[in-house]
Structure 1
């Protein structure tokens, strides 16, 4: 958890643009900019089992703001970031309310926990402020819990499942196979399990057993013993954050050889497990090896600044700020309703992939390509970062981007007034 307390004036004192930003990351709320700047709140977990992902998010949004400001800002105004650790749903909701009501931010960017994102969404809808969700996957956030002032650069669970599902079908790991689920015991995991069960039923796989895994679990021995006894055809992860890293490390230690697949993933978790422990097939919304000019520029800038490549959570927050800067530039201001209408009309954005992205009007999901990555065999890793191979973009170039997204029948969104 962030330590230290500064009075409000002190938290507003540092100008984003040089190296000063990194020096103040330990503070509970961090502001960079000037009084005439456009304030953007960044709210994401930096502690707990999602903390490692949150650090990538913070670094990436700082880089994006620096680049926007160096290019002249938004209609001549600088971006000012107010950075907070969301910690848990209650804290996240309270901080979102403070950012909007007291700090008058133009929008909030961030979050990883689906439960916390729901709380933030309820705040911004009530306050008629913008929220760009960069890490919460739950289909419910685009369905039963959708809000008109919330947009999603993160992919929904259906997109993750359908992306890696193509690889499972290709490799004969679905039809007629017995799956064992490990599911994170909170909103994200439950939603992902629901979507994954639907895919299994549609494609002839049997969910033979499932373990609900507490978010603070570090010892997977009971789960691994159950897997050994059950002898599934595929071990399926519906886990999140450090749960995946801990599982991968211990799975290798137990010497289990059942194929592993995940329906949700972040590349930082593979790096955390290490090249010798990472295995299986996993879906990602983006990765640092994508061969496009935008990705190469982003990876080069991020690596030079932070001495490590960005992972997919970094991508989401970086793109979110760039998208908001474009939207504010095009609408000539920060009026939330004008930006909502601009995004709903199908504006296109460079999202560092082979195709541009746009937000789907009916649920505000960013429509885009995704990827399935497969761990390289032990000993074939190029370095500590390049430890997987990637599928081509999914959907393919001749397919609609809608091909992997939830259909209206699978996930219905009705925006509230």
Structure 2
């Protein structure tokens, strides 16, 4: 893996931990008696169900970000109040988003992991002309056919996840001309991820030896593991989500199948949940707790101090989104969503706790940023329950455009209504 070595890039970031994002807030006046009403931010994310373990990280990180924003003077001298709710499912997410906007008068909405729920929230946000920053839903369609002017994406689209993992898998010789068995989560995210994965596999001369759609509530993978054993693939690709991945990895390890495992969608909490010795293979992540950028390690230290565990990539997404919102509102001296949309479309750059700053593309509102591919460490090299993988350096690499992993307009057209 000479092109993508195990060590994290040490390219210097000249900003001290997180200072860039907080700089506008640091100059804000201290809260005063009789100050203006608090600025409310609505936070929706799954706290129950198969995505619940990720939603817990998301909610904790959002709360930490708000505490830090308030400690630095709030937004234009006003305290920030976080309203957090379990989004549960698309119908509930839509109803809660509408209530937060109409009754609670939130300035914006942040969060979500489920792609169908994110679409439902975006429809409400668009109708009400309120900013919504998606922190965890990956579907390409949310950036294409279902794109919305008031929706922005801190989370990577599925194509970016596939191409990030694909680089590492090509380097390992696990794709070109190989037979692949695919397991896919049977809901919007999984279907979209499989579609993007098949495009990548076809371009690289891989064939599908077998594939199955996995219900999100399924916990027993033994029937599918028996099918994999019979198919004898060169590699098993997981397009699963949430607790599905944790359960699959545990049971795959118990079965002792010899075929390499990889995935095109992932969250590090799912590897931690599988337990030491059960995490296998190579996977894409948008961020991880070992990224060496100074602001990343400041975030890791603060999260560990508060919650007694490191943050995972979903925590990064909600924390970063909250900081982007605060910086933008402080810069504009306004909470007006339309003005913030125009600001984010203008090419504004943000410290996103990586080596390079990120920015939103104006035509699909996807955050252009570095990503990573991680590979499980051998059991004898694991020293604790969290540091269980090695990582490539940032992808795209030094000197490459941040946009090379993302879809082009020809691949995933987005047209905002007038």
Common fold, TM-score beyond 0.5?
A: yes
Match of 2:39 in 1: 38
**TM-score, normalised relative to structure 1:** 0.91
Shift of 1:397: 1.2
Match of 1:15 in 2: none
Matches of 1:275 and 1:364 in 2, distance apart?
A: 38
Match of 1:281 in 2: 282
Cα deviation, 1:256-289, whole Å, max 9, x if unaligned, reads 1100010000000000001210010000000000
Match of 1:191 in 2: 192
Q: Secondary structure at the match of 2:380?
A: coil
Shift of 1:107: 0.5
Shift of 1:381: 0.7
Alignment of 1:281-300 (within 5 A): 281-300=282-301
Cα deviation, 1:227-246, whole Å, max 9, x if unaligned, reads 00000111000000000000
Match of 1:30 in 2: none
Match of 1:335 in 2: 336
**TM-score, normalised relative to structure 2:** 0.91
Shift of 1:130: 0.7
User: Can you give the 5+ residue segments of structure 1 that lack an aligned partner in the other structure?
Assistant: 1-33
Q: Secondary structure at the match of 1:180?
A: strand
Match of 2:365 in 1: 364
Match of 2:5 in 1: none
Match of 1:378 in 2: 379
Alignment of 1:128-139 (within 5 A): 128-139=129-140
Cα deviation, 1:319-366, whole Å, max 9, x if unaligned, reads 000000011111111111100000000100000000000001110000
Q: Secondary structure at the match of 1:412?
A: coil
Matches of 1:406 and 1:224 in 2, distance apart?
A: 33
Matches of 2:379 and 2:232 in 1, distance apart?
A: 23
Alignment of 1:233-382 (within 5 A): 233-382=234-383
Matches of 1:253 and 1:155 in 2, distance apart?
A: 32
Matches of 2:129 and 2:137 in 1, distance apart?
A: 20
Match of 2:164 in 1: 163
Q: 2:36·2:78 contact (CA, 8 Å) conserved in 1? A: no
Compare relative contact order (CA 8 Å, sep 6+) and give the higher one, 1 or 2: 2
Match of 1:179 in 2: 180
Match of 2:63 in 1: 62
Q: 2:289·2:296 contact (CA, 8 Å) conserved in 1? A: yes
Match of 2:28 in 1: none
Match of 1:209 in 2: 210
Shift of 1:65: 0.2
Q: Does 1:224 align with 2:225?
A: yes
Q: Secondary structure at the match of 2:381?
A: coil
Match of 1:399 in 2: 400
Runs of 4+ residues deviating >3 angstroms? none
Match of 1:11 in 2: none
Q: Secondary structure at the match of 2:338?
A: helix
Matches of 2:89 and 2:378 in 1, distance apart?
A: 37
Shift of 1:409: 1.5
Alignment of 1:136-147 (within 5 A): 136-147=137-148
Match of 2:23 in 1: none
Q: Number of residues paired by the alignment?
A: 384
Match of 1:19 in 2: none
Shift of 1:35: 6.9
